[in-house]
Amino acid sequence: MRAILDSRLVVTCFLLALAGCAPKLPPIVPVEGVVTINGQPLANAAVTFIPLLDHFGMEAVSVATTDAQGKFTLICKQNEQPGAVAGTHLVMVRELPVPKEMRRVIQDGRVIDAYYAKSGNRPIPPDYKSTAHTPLRVEISRATPTVTLELKR
């Protein structure tokens, strides 16, 4: 019985030691910015900053929604803290989800297109909507609290 308790203690200590060696998320720094397409503000769009970090997943991603002037403030998903982790990020810019009242008519693409057109400066070019194709790479540090994302058609 004592041997079982001793082996459990050893395993527990090992697991605790491993937990202390887990990689630490880089510092989160405040980030604001603006999104434009061909120089015009992009309103009501979803902005996602995905850090190029090993050993981290969705907890290191930061998100925002642009306002009527294309401005945004990032929020890190790790702890809902304003900002993004320091480092290089892939950036995606996509349409916001369709509101619930529009989902019933989603089969009619013309209705959805008209809905998005009301936001102005549409459509968002498809390359910016995918991590595989986005040309946007941004380096975040304390020295870059403001980011300008210029999309091209």
State the Cα–Cα distance between residues 92 and 147, nearest whole angstrom. Answer: 14
pLDDT computed for residue 102 by the predictor: 67
In this prediction, residue 20 has a pLDDT band, given cuts at 50, 70 and 90, of low
Strand partners, 89: 51, 138
CATH of 26-151, one of 2.20.28, 1.25.40, 1.10.10, 2.60.40: 2.60.40
pLDDT tens digits for range 42-93: 999 999 999 998 877 777 899 999 999 999 999 998 788 999 999 999 999 9
- The residue behind tokens 């004592």 is 2
User: Quick one: what percent of the chain has pLDDT higher than 70?
Assistant: 78
Angstrom CA distances, 46 to 24, 27, 129, 132, stand at: 27, 23, 10, 17
| pLDDT at res. 5 | 44
pLDDT for position 129 = 95
Q: What is the mean pLDDT of residues 12-26?
A: 60
Position 100 scores a pLDDT of 74
Residue 138's pLDDT band, with cuts at 50, 70 and 90, is: very high
Measured between alpha carbons, how far is 18 from 11 in angstroms, rounded to an integer?
11
pLDDT at residue 144 above 70?
A: yes
* One-letter amino acid of 42: L
Average pLDDT, rounded, for the chain: 83
CA distance 140 to 153: 25
Q: Which two tokens stand for residue 100?
A: 């619930």
Q: What percent of the chain has pLDDT over 90?
A: 53
| Burial readout 98-133 (b: 16 or more C-beta within 10 A, e: otherwise) | eeeeeeeeeeeeeebeebbeebebbebeeebbeeee
According to the per-residue pLDDT averaged within each range, which of 65-74, 97-106, 112-121 is highest? 65-74
Intra-chain end-to-end CA distance of the chain, in Å: 72
